Amino acid sequence: MDDIQRRLHDAKLGAAVENAAAKLPDGYTVTIAVMRNSGDVVLCDPDGEECEFPSNHESIAESINDAVEFAIQSAFWDRQAEESSS
């Protein structure tokens, strides 16, 4: 990876983390696990349960963004269900 590609990669990762910090619904957490030659993004709901979310896992940045979008959708549907049962 050349210097320009590395900087673009780093910028995308930074933007994804900032996006998660700004948009992740209350109670949800995103954890980034980094191992040699790989990484993983784990999303947990407000109950601490790990959520499986769809992602192409092309990069850690894309996986973070996918986790945030899934959490936003899940929180929306949870609120809809709560309002319907009230």
What confidence score (pLDDT) does residue 19 get?
97
Closest CA to 26 of 82, 83, 73, 75: 75
What confidence score (pLDDT) does residue 38 get?
85
DSSP labels for 13-42? HHHHHHHHHHHSPTT-EEEEEEETTEEEEE
What confidence score (pLDDT) does residue 32 get?
95
What confidence score (pLDDT) does residue 57 get?
72
What confidence score (pLDDT) does residue 7 get?
87
Give me the residues of the chain with pLDDT under 70, please: none
What confidence score (pLDDT) does residue 74 get?
96
What confidence score (pLDDT) does residue 39 get?
87
